[in-house]
Structure 1
Amino acid sequence: MTTRLNPYLNFNGNAREAMTFYHSVFSGELSLSTFGENQMSQDPSDAEKIMHGQLETDGGLLLMGADIPNGMSYTEGDNFSVSLSGEDEEELRGYWEKLSGSGTVTVPLERAPWGDSFGMCKDQFGVDWLVNISGA
C-alpha cells in the first residue's frame, strides 16, 4: 500500500448524513464506524456519532470524515484536516517529525485502540494533520 494524502472532514453530529450524501455523488465503497463501536468516548451521547467514515471510489478518490465528539469545538469553515496514511512507517514518521517539529502535537503519534499508530498535529502554518501508520 502506498502512502495516501486526502482530505478529512469534521462534522457537528451529521457525519453519517454527509458521508451518505457524498457516497450518492461519487459512488464507491462507504464504511462508517461509531464512537460506541470502538469504545472511544466516555460520553454516552457520543456513542452513535461517527468516529471514522471512509469513502473510496473505483477511480481512486478517497474522502474521510467524522463527527466532532462532545467536549471538542467545531467551527464551520475550519472543519477539515489533511490525512496521511499508509504502511511505510519510516516514511510516515519522517513526515510526522517534519510537520510536528515546528508545530503543535495535539495527539501523540502512538499505538491507537484500532491497532495502527495514529497522531494529530498542527503545523507551523496552522494546518491540521492526521497521520495513521497501518499495523505499526
Structure 2
Amino acid sequence: MKEVNIYLNFPGTTEAAFNFYRSIFGGEFMGGIMRFRDFPPMEGMEDWPAMKEEELDLVGHVSLPITEHTTLMGTDMVSNMPGQLVSGNNFQITLETDSAEEAEVLFGKLSEGGRVVMPLSETFWAEQFGACVDPFGVHWQLNYTGSRVMPT
C-alpha cells in the first residue's frame, strides 16, 4: 500500500471547510479547487440525472496534503449523486503529532467553533490525547504518545 488518504463529503460547505483546514495545516490545494462545471463528460454517467444549475459551482474535488504521506480530499454532495449525506461519528481523523505542543495547537484550532468531546489530557497510552468535532461536523482525535507505547 502506497498511502492512505481521507475523503470528506460535505453538504455544500467543502470550500469553507478546506479553507479552514488549510489555515490550520498550511500548504496549497493540489491543482486548485475543481468545480463541477469544470468536469469533462464521464463515461458511464450518461444515465445520471442532470445536476442543478446552482450546484455547478460547488466543489467537485479538492486535495490538501497535510503531511508527506497524507492528503485530505473532498467534494460537495449534490442532488444527482447516489445516497444521502449523513454527517456523524462514523469516522474520525486521528493525527499523531510530533510533540505535546503541536497537539495542543492543532486541538485548539480544530475545536474552535466546534465541540470538545474529550479534553486534551494524559491517558495510559499517550502523553496527550483529545477528541473534538470541528465546525463542519468532522470528528478529530489528536494523539501524542511521546515515550508511551500504544497497547496491543
Taking structure 2 as the reference length, the TM-score comes to: 0.45
- Larger relative CO (CA 8 A, sep 6+): 1 or 2? 1
Instruction: Pick the structure with more strand per residue.
Output: 1
